[in-house]
Amino acid sequence: MSIWLVGAAGMLGQAVAARLTDLALPFDATDQELDITDLARVGDYAEANRFTHVINCAAYTAVDQAESQAVVAHAVNAEGPHHLALAASRIGAALLHVSTDYVFDGRARQPYREDDACNPLGAYARSKRDGELRVLETLAHDPGGRSVYILRTSWLYGEGGPNFVATMLRLMAERRELRVVADQRGRPTYTRDLAEAAVSLLGLDASASRPAADSGVYHFANRGETSWHEFAMAILEYGRQRGYPLIAEAIEAIATADYPRPAPRPAYSVLATDKIEAVLGRAPRPWQDALRDYLDRVVP
């Protein structure tokens, strides 16, 4: 067994690396030093190492900046995954590619399932959806039927990278009043929980008695939906309980229209996780429990 962890220096990549290390699984970690938009370099590296599994955590995630850097976002989020899929197919490796709730337009009023129609709204969202399609196309044209997984997630936060929870904690320590959007709903996800699910989906969890899951698209997010405003209120409450030096006294609920951004956001991007729950034999823990765990780990 040999695992290639792509995007290892990012927030999610660090969590996956920690999970693989905990399981004593051998892996090679690369980040920007190996440019996944370079097809030849990706192919040469894969051929030289003959990996059995490729986990792609690399992504261009600057959602608003992508509106003015669409070419760069597309190269990283679409062309890069395609190159990895081609290389994985050539050497017979399983590939897991992480995607996003932004592939949906947010007009639904019930949780999105894996086979629901996608309609990405902005440059970042379109680049991620194109990446999905290119990876899935590689699977469809692979006569060997290699294992290929698209793992969508939402509202990701964790150690080792900028995220909503860290930003809120900083602002709550600096300001007495904050304003947070209340008309966007989703499912927050802790990187450690997503990393565990990804490794299990590939059948790499040493404690698992089942093989890798069938190829296809899966959703994973911590259980329970919320709004950004409700999420912020929980961060304030749980942070205070843990002794964070927070001075915030009020968090005003505002509409998306009151906080205009360059890139559109889906108003409702709650992901249904029934499919992955059936495969893994367990449901994700509630987002409140995951948030408490994260705060316990990063308490100042």
pTM for this predicted structure: 0.94
Cβ distance 227 to 164 under 8 Å? no
Give the model's pLDDT for residue 262: 95
Q: One of 102, 124, 157, 218 is an active-site residue; which one? A: 124
Place of tokens 């309609």: 119
Confidence grade of residue 213 (pLDDT, cut at 50, 70, 90): confident
Q: Which helix (H) or strand (E) holds 97?
A: strand 94-100
The Cα 95–Cα 146 span in angstroms is: 8
Which domains, and CATH codes, for the chain?
3-161+188-223+265-287 (3.40.50.720)
Across the range 278-292, mean pLDDT stands at 96
Across the range 8-32, mean pLDDT stands at 96
pLDDT tens per residue, range 135-164: 998 876 665 556 899 999 999 999 998 999
Higher local confidence (pLDDT), 146 or 254: 254
Would the pLDDT of 208 be above 60? no
The Cα 225–Cα 251 span in angstroms is: 19
Give the model's pLDDT for residue 154: 98
pLDDT tens per residue, range 76-90: 999 999 999 999 999
Task: Tell me whether residue 218 is one of the annotated catalytic residues.
Answer: no
Give the model's pLDDT for residue 207: 54
